[in-house]
Amino acid sequence: MSVVDSPVGWVKQHIRKYIESDGAEGHEWQPGVFTLLLTTIGRKSGQPRRTALIYQPYGDAYVVIASNGGAVEHPAWYLNLAAENRAEVQVGSDVFNAKARTASGDERAELWKLMTEVWPDYDSYATKTDREIPVVVLERV
């Protein structure tokens, strides 16, 4: 079954460059801002779904934010992970399987701060929605 990339045009182009260059292009999306590729299994379709996300390393794991730009609803990739907490992750040229978990409490607060240091817009996204924006830890399995 082929992977379905993000329906958002610029994200789809970003993913293509990332894949075609084995991470040489796209891993550093903007100066000092790095992205990974996350492939989840669609909770309705059963198809692999891929998107690009800003990340920060967290020990041997990686942290991503399910902001959806501050939209009312969680992004589809997060809902997919809630249904099946396994995913494929590509960081640069490194591709591996991961288990996802949502951080909470003090850990969430610490990781939110870590992520806003690299992408301050997460704080403004949080003001646009009543939902608590999930902070996700991707752990290599």
pLDDT digits (tens, 9 = 90+) for 72-89: 999 999 999 999 999 999
Residue 137 has pLDDT above 80, yes or no: yes
CB 54 within 8 A of CB 112: no
Q: Running DSSP on this structure, what letter comes out for residue 134?
A: P
Structure-token match 């942290």, residue found = 63
- Which residue intervals of the chain are DSSP H helices? 9-20, 76-83, 105-118, 121-127
- Mean pLDDT over 104-121 rounds to 98
| Residue closest to 14 by CA, chosen among 36, 32, 43, 31 | 36
Q: List, in order of start, the domains of the chain with CATH numbers.
A: 4-140 (2.30.110.10)
**Rounded to whole angstroms, how far apart are CA atoms 109 and 123?**
12
**What per-residue confidence (pLDDT) applies to 45?**
94
Percent of the chain with pLDDT over 90: 99
Residue 1 has pLDDT above 90, yes or no: no
Q: How far is CA 27 from CA 35, 39, 48, 89, 124, in A?
A: 5, 15, 21, 12, 24
- Mean pLDDT over 116-132 rounds to 97
Max Cα–Cα distance, the chain, nearest Å: 40
Q: What are the pLDDT digits (tens) for 16-48?
A: 999 999 999 999 999 999 999 999 999 999 999
Dihedrals phi, psi of 62, to nearest 5 degrees: -135, 145
Please state whether the predicted TM-score (pTM) of the whole model is above 0.95. yes
**What per-residue confidence (pLDDT) applies to 9?**
94
**What per-residue confidence (pLDDT) applies to 79?**
98
